[in-house]
Amino acid sequence: MTTAREPAAPQAGSHPAADSQPVTLEAARRRRPDQGLWPSPCVGVCRLDEARGWCAGCWRTLEEITVWRSADDATRQRIWAALEARQRLATSASR
27-67 pLDDT per residue, tens:
999 999 999 999 999 999 999 998 889 999 999 999 999 99
d(CA 24, CA 2): 31
Rounded to an integer, what is the distance from CA 41 to the centroid of its chain?
A: 7
pLDDT top residue among 81 and 21: 81
Three-class SS of residue 25? Answer: helix
What is the percentage of the chain residues whose pLDDT exceeds 70?
Answer: 77
H-helix or E-strand containing 85?
helix 73-93
